[in-house]
Chains A and B, each alone.
Chain A
């Protein structure tokens, strides 16, 4: 079975689906979708010959599946489950999507003051802002999954804040995938637009309860104007049948602050691309992440920070715990362009391998074309410190328990870095429960 056939499957599906996709009355979107389809045709699915997919081979698993586009609508009691998992959703703007479509019943959108919008994207496709940004930040060229997403997306989160607006309560978007005997896929598109000095906290939470394999392909575009602040957190809790391909692409203006935190525990195969362009001076970004993988999971995280302008700072910390036969990949690239003097860029990647079969591929990279810079990166991979294990055991703690303590000490740092009181309990539970079953 070649990639060509998989590609053909998508191309032929488009003509059948086109008329059912949202935005039928928006001509610009129709042509954007067609263009993206063409770009997908050009690019084809990535192979491990591509540098950015070197350690993730899709052809073996993902592309064998011919996921259907028609997915059953299904309901789950989302809010209650989230509460059980430690998220007090009463305090958030809850936006729920099931199998790629917005669910009004499951969501609880609170009234917002003027100048703030939290909506599902499909309902605002005639909005000028949407037209101005969709496909402009996340480019489809040479990116098969972004192109596919642009061609096929059905819905997603839309947040817009006008100048000076601060949304205190977090926006918690939940994307549920659930299927039966048939494999399924959904393509979600999120758009976050922050005007000058606005501020918001957004959570993207992916979760699955499936019988058959499924694909979630998500693209989030973030436009940050001067002085704006975005605290973004992504929780990847797909189930073991899931293939998750996600891109989070931000464009930052002067003095903006972008924090992106990733907690990835689920999915048979997970790939996250996080990119930001520090486009104007004094912009700052903090990219953090924790990926936990076990059994046959494959988790690939790729980050790219583009220092385009002077006096920008970036800080990156990614940690991984790899158990059983799982594979972890971290590819962090920092580009400092000629004009980006006085750049301060720090990156760190640390990995813990829990078994002999676990594997990690780490690729921290710098490309620096400006001279007045301070850049550093570190990467460290090892196992649990035997000395520390023994020390705990000598104090009467069982070996298994001691291991957990040490793994939590390693991973928990990423939870501790999260300041939001809304998120902390849930994230703690997430890490705890991963360790319980591992």
Chain B
């Protein structure tokens, strides 16, 4: 489904990704781990088309479709969803309105009928429950004044509504207490299915106790330096990153 070949990217003069190769098959959950500055978040940003990065090599396809030539919104419409590490506040824009506009934009691009307000509200309310989110949150402005946990839950809610093919979680565990982490992980697990894949970017193994990955990749210096099963995450937790990166970097 997602195939990344030799992906290289830089920010201004700094080369960050130095040739990433990664294939994620439908239904799989892959974790990307690595020390600070290894390029984890850059990979998430580059896949979703965030401005500010220059692609200097390689290719990325989603179901055979070239992602890198698409605008961010077309990637989203093609099924790429990024759960932001720092969800953005948009003052004055109603959460429900925002989500409805997004869903209808995606539906329209697929030639599907747009949902009216009533159908949409029903849909959202159904998705809210498992996330233990208050309906009042829908009436508030997008992420404005939300607590860290609320923001992350809001990201998962959006993912649940937009039903992407590929969900990229960028350090979704950062800033969450254990209860919120469980709720978020449950939300993600409920979305797992044979046609939906996940790329989970995280610094700590903790999240992977709850979202159990099929494969774990270690990123350092902009390259995947080791790949293994879920037990690799535990090994990293115990030993840190030093033994893989030549003692230079500590977890």
Complex: A in contact with B (CB within 8 Å)? no
